[in-house]
Amino acid sequence: MSLPPIVVFDLDGTLAETAPDIMRVLNVILEREGLPALPLARARELVGAGARALIERGFKVSGRPLEPATLERLFADFLTIYATDTAANSHLFDGVAGALDLLAGEGYALAVCTNKPILHTRLILDHFGIAGRFAAVAGRDTFPFFKPDPRHLTLTIEAAKADPARAVMIGDSRTDIATARAAGIPSICVPFGYTDVPIETLAPDFVIQHFDELPGAVGRALNSAARASLTA
């Protein structure tokens, strides 16, 4: 029996708008340390590289040095606070549920590969009622490797029992593009996620403006990849 093709999704900024809750927890941390809260409008430049980097960036914006030991303490606090309420102010992007249904109906396996800790990842997917749609869910701490290491992606595909030669990565950032490229897998990106530069400038294989476009883009990405392999 042949393995199915697979579509692997990033989570934050790709499947879901999670910045409101991430920034809410960051501001709890900052205010506890006597620093001003940061507006949600700063999320695009702060979110996307994990909680440690988020805290470091928050302190940098506020102009205060951050010692390594303090960072580790605040990182642990962040994870604890975030786990109590991961998604009250978050939402799936428009069209996500329909795109997942269409892809599954066309025979694709689905998976999540994110640098968010697996605990918070599962809490968010459960909150939105979509956890059961994915054959595999991998967080930052699922494997010894995490994005942009391509093994995070390839091991996710393996866990989903899918075909790595017919895989597509869906993301919103340079990390997702670099991971897919290193794994030899085409990337499709959304322009409304968490990136400090326009996603088009990072040269993913395809950019979609809405999830309604995703099933068609996945087909085009796999067809392009198949043609490239024949001519290589």
Nearest 10 degrees: Cα torsion 147, 149, 155, 156: 20
Q: 212 catalytic, yes or no? A: no
Active-site option among 10, 12, 172, 176? 10
DSSP 8-class letter at 77: H
Contacts 24+ apart (CB under 8 A), 38-45: 38/62, 43/19, 43/194, 44/19, 44/194, 44/195, 44/196, 45/196
Q: Return d(Cα 116, Cα 136) in angstroms, integer.
A: 15
Q: How many C-beta neighbours within 10 Å does residue 39 have? A: 9
Q: How many C-beta neighbours within 10 Å does residue 93 have? A: 18
Q: Name the amino acid, one letter, at 37.
A: A
Query: CA distances (Å), 225 to each of 80, 165, 191, in order?
Result: 42, 9, 22
Q: Return d(Cα 22, Cα 42) in angstroms, integer.
A: 12
Q: Name the amino acid, one letter, at 170.
A: I
- The catalytic site residues sit at 10
